[in-house]
Amino acid sequence: EAQVTQNPRYLITVTGKKLTVTCSQNMNHEYMSWYRQDPGLGLRQIYYSMNVEVTDKGDVPEGYKVSRKEKRNFPLILESPSPNQTSLYFCASSLALGKQFFGPGTRLTVL
Amino acid sequence: ILNVEQSPQSLHVQEGDSTNFTCSFPSSNFYALHWYRWETAKSPEALFVMTLNGDEKKKGRISATLNTKEGYSYLYIKGSQPEDSATYLCAPNYGGSQGNLIFGKGTKLSVKP
């Protein structure tokens, strides 16, 4: 089944404790992206990647890192999480920049 | 930061009503417009990707039009059903296949049986 998977789906952590949210797709998509969704603000792009080893900042990259060492994986790294990074995170992938296929979401709470 | 406006913010209609809403975006350097449907507790799901001025796409009872010169797109739902209740998001892309999507805040549609 074609899909985008994210792990974990839910995470409660504390300020400053490094964490990684994984994203994997099995559709051989070149383009992958991370978004965060906050009430009243809609979906905002954090980082995107057009292919392996090619990443670029979206609208809200501060406090996040990404890597794209393999085509199928695009992990989101929070080196030192802070409470303002409490949010719902979505990973998405597509061929070039066509229709985005979204993962199930990761709800992160930083205390 | 580019401003993408969707109106109305929310809409309540009766089952069977037809409805439409708007996405407005800057027209300069426009490449493509995406529409997504987002049901509560689920992930956004792609409806359409449109690129050409005057383009019209249709999927069942849902259709969309695009005006790239003036920077707007309409989404129409014919004969709304309760299962159409969702938030509808538009997202223009300005960088082509090398760019990124800018999402609007969405129009939340509620269809009462």
Which regions in chain B score pLDDT beneath 70? Answer: 1, 96-98
- A93/chain B closest Cα distance in angstroms: 11
pLDDT digits (tens, 9 = 90+) for A24-72: 999 999 999 999 999 888 899 999 999 999 999 998 999 999 999 999 9
Would you call the peptide bond into A8 cis, given omega within 30 degrees of 0 as the criterion? yes
pLDDT digits (tens, 9 = 90+) for A1-17: 889 999 999 999 999 99
Nearest Cα to A97, choosing from A53, A62, A41, A45? A45
- A39/chain B closest Cα distance in angstroms: 9
Residues 6+ apart with CB under 8 A from A92: A4, A32, A33, A34, A35, A100, A101, A102, A103, B44
Q: Is A26 helix (H, G, I), strand (E, B) or coil?
A: coil
Contact residues on chain B for A41, CB-CB shorter than 8 A: 105
Best of B7, B35, B100, B102 to mutate (most A CBs within 10 Å, chain A): B100
> Is A93:A32 a contact under the CB 8 Å cutoff?
yes
Among the partner-chain residues A48, A99, A104, the one whose CB lies closest to the CB of B46 is: A99
Does the pLDDT value for residue A98 go beyond 90? no
User: Rg of chain A's alpha carbons, rounded to an integer?
Assistant: 13
Does the pLDDT value for residue A81 go beyond 70? yes
Determine the pLDDT at residue A41: 87
Determine the pLDDT at residue B3: 87
